[in-house]
Chains A and B, each alone.
Chain A
Amino acid sequence: MNPLVQVESLDFEYFYKPPKRSFGLTKKRVLSDINLSLNKSEILVILGKNGCGKSTLLRLLGKIYKPSSGFIKYNGDRSPKLLAPGVGFMNDLTGMENLFFSFSLMTGMLPTQDNIDRIIEYSEIGTRLEEPISIYSSGMRSRLAFATALESSSEVVLIDEALGAGDDSFRRKVNLTYKRKIEEGMSFVVVTHNLNWVKNHATRVLVMDDGKICYDGPTIDGIEHFCELLDP
């Protein structure tokens, strides 16, 4: 079976302005020689210390960044999408306007009536959708953001530390949604530090250290490998 996403010999460098006065920008290698594949109905979790390049790898998979060398091959109908709850949210707009705007940013089109109905039902916002989000509680705001992001996701979803939102019951609802989406054939690449979630949901773990993959395999061994990395 062809993997949905295949990464081969991927390197990535980013540019930064050095602290000393200089007109030029300096390159810094963030990822080197990354090789991985993602199969259908898989939850691949990327573990690693802060600054090891996990989020950068997600953005490369989501075509937000461009690899410096190597390539990423996509076999699915649509490219992977980064789940970005609340992207483009503006305080002066109503919940409905933010729903339209955020959905458009993530998909490039307006939501259909079906999309809107599903988002309203999922977020449990109800009639308050016509109020400006500046008066929403943080829980309501993140429920709307999450419901909109989930509705606009594609068959491969990239999640960067945004596994859940709102209260416990909403988090449980989100976790059930992930399970249902996996059964429907969707795949996830998740960056998280929540090892409990990883233990319960991941089908495979990838551990990164200093821009390189140092482990790719079963979940339990991956968690152990990561713990050793944190506390050698």
Chain B
Amino acid sequence: MSTNSVLFMIFFYTKMKIKVELRSSKLGVLWLLLQPILFLAIYYISFRYLLKSKDIASIASCLVGLISYNWFSQTINEGTVSLIGSKGITNSTVVPSYIFIISSSLVCLWRYLFVLTVFLLFVSFHDSSELLTLNLIYLLPVILFAFLVFTSVSFLLAAVYPVFPDIKHIVDSFTKLFLFISCIFYEVKAVPEDVKFYFLLNPLSFLISNLRAIFLGGEFQGFSFVLSSILIFGLVSILGLVLYNRNQFKYNYINTI
């Protein structure tokens, strides 16, 4: 398949998956609005009324973390099984199977951008003076960077999963671990200085703390962390590609599930 055909297939498959997702429930597209609104409402009520928190920034801060964590967890979990999930297609056509990993990542990105937009409207509505203190232009490189990192991790896991399905259980536990080590319920400044660097090597922490800086004002995590993370996750991508290239023809006829 030519590069143009591959790019076309990625976007066409993503578009179809989104269409199916929108039509698979009675309320269809309304759920895309209702889901984040309900999600935000639950956390707002929990923090504002149950925990008696009056600091809207801390609620917003947790929300940025939770929304981003959901994106991370969905990308990793859905990406890991994407090769096996598309076996019906790859067993009958010459469409390269990596298309389905990238497409699964793009569907998760689309959901995230939608929820993030709703979030942006939510925080702007509450207190516009403190919000959006940094230029929103930073949003693009931060999200793009996180997207590449998450996709490379899911690529590696997807390449391993058909030959070693037990990895799914490890992934489930590890994504839960990230809920606690990614500065979701606490600020990055609460992390001791001597381990702060390692905390920010976690791309999810990096994403969350920079989104907080963009939306809510605060310390923007520097370029050095991006470079370190690119180095680490560059290695993950290379490893994923090596494994994928070695096993790509096996994925169609491997019988592990």
* A contacts, CB < 8 Å to B: 14-17, 23, 25, 56, 59, 62-66, 79, 82, 84, 87-88, 90, 92-93, 97, 100-101, 104-106, 108-110, 132
Judge whether A66 and B8 touch: CB under 8 Å.
no
Asked if B181 is an interface residue, CB under 8 A from chain A, the answer is no
> What is the minimal beta-carbon distance from B10 to any residue of chain A, in angstroms?
11
The answer to the question of B252 belonging to the interface, with a C-beta cut-off of 8 Å to chain A, is: yes
The answer on a CB contact under 8 Å between B249 and A23 is no
Chain A contacts of B163 at CB under 8 A? 15, 25
Cβ 8 A contact of B253, one of A14, A84, A106, A108: A14
Given contacts A82-B92, A92-B19, 7 further A-B contacts (CB under 8 A): A56-B253, A62-B94, A65-B249, A92-B20, A93-B16, A101-B13, A104-B12
Instruction: Knowing A64-B94, A108-B8 are in contact, say whether A25-B253 is a contact too (CB < 8 A).
Output: no
**Set of chain B residues within 8 Å of A63, measured between Cβ atoms:** 94
How far does the Cβ of A21 sit from chain B's closest Cβ, in whole Å? 10
What residues on A are CB-neighbors of B6 within 8 Å? 108
Docked complex Cα distance between A110 and B5 (Å) = 10
Checking B19, B88, B252 against A64 with a beta-carbon cut-off of 8 angstroms, the contacting residue is B252
User: In this complex, what residue of B is CB-closest to A28?
Assistant: B255
In the bound complex, what is the Cα–Cα distance between A82 and B1 (angstroms)?
Answer: 15
22 contacts across the A-B interface (CB closer than 8 A): A14-B250, A14-B255, A15-B254, A15-B255, A16-B254, A23-B164, A25-B163, A64-B92, A66-B249, A84-B92, A87-B89, A88-B88, A92-B19, A93-B20, A93-B23, A104-B8, A106-B93, A108-B1, A108-B2, A108-B5, A108-B95, A109-B8
Expressed in whole angstroms, the Cα–Cα distance for A25 and B99 within the complex equals: 25
Measured CB to CB, the closest approach of chain A to B133, in angstroms, equals 42
Chain A residues in 8 Å Cβ range of B249: 65-66
CB distance from A190 to the nearest CB of B (A): 16
Contact B91 A92 (CB under 8 A): no
Contact A64 B93 (CB under 8 A): yes
* Chain B: CB-nearest residue to A82: B92
- Are the C-beta atoms of A15 and B250 separated by less than 8 Å? yes
- The chain A residue sitting closest to B247, CB to CB, is A15
Tell me which residues across on chain B come within 8 A of A17, comparing CB atoms.
Answer: 255-256
How far does the Cβ of B98 sit from chain A's closest Cβ, in whole Å?
14
What 1/0 mask marks residues of chain B from 1 to 32 whose CB sits below 8 Å from any chain A CB? 11001101100110010011001100000000
Q: Among the interface residues B1, B91, B93, B253, which one has the most CB atoms of the partner chain A within 10 A?
A: B93
Asked whether, in the complex, the Cβ of A101 is within 8 Å of the Cβ of B16, the reply is yes
Q: Which residues of B contact A110 (CB under 8 A)?
A: 8, 12
Is A92 a contact partner of B23 (Cβ separation < 8 A)? yes
- Measured CB to CB, the closest approach of chain A to B20, in angstroms, equals 5
- Min CB distance, B101 to chain A, in Å? 16
Flag if A64 contacts B8 (CB, 8 Å).
no
**Nearest A residue (CB) for B99:** A105
Contact (Cβ within 8 A) A88 B89: yes
A38, B95: Cα distance in complex, Å: 24
| Contact, CB under 8 Å: B88 / A87 | yes
- In the assembled complex, the CB of B37 is this many whole angstroms from the nearest CB of chain A, namely 24
A65: chain B residues within 8 A (beta carbon): 249, 252-253
Q: How far is the CA of A110 from the CA of B11 in the complex (A)?
A: 12
CA distance A132 to B24 in the complex (A): 12
In the complex, per-residue mask of B63-96: 1 if CB is within 8 Å of any chain A CB, else 0:
0000000000000000000000000111111110
| Residue of chain B at shortest CB distance from A87 | B92
Q: Contacts of B90 on A, CB cut-off 8 Å?
A: 64
Question: What is the minimal beta-carbon distance from A171 to any residue of chain B, in angstroms?
Answer: 21
Point out the residue from A64, A90, A108 that lies within 8 Å of B16, measured CB to CB: A90
Known A92-B24, A93-B19; judge A105-B254 contact (CB<8 A).
no
A105–B19 CB distance below 8 A: no
- Contacting residues, chain A, for B16 (C-beta < 8 A): 90, 93, 97, 101
Is the CB–CB distance between A25 and B256 below 8 Å? yes
How many angstroms from the CA of A59 to the CA of B91 in the assembled complex?
Answer: 8
Contacts of A87 in B (CB 8 A): 88-89, 92-93
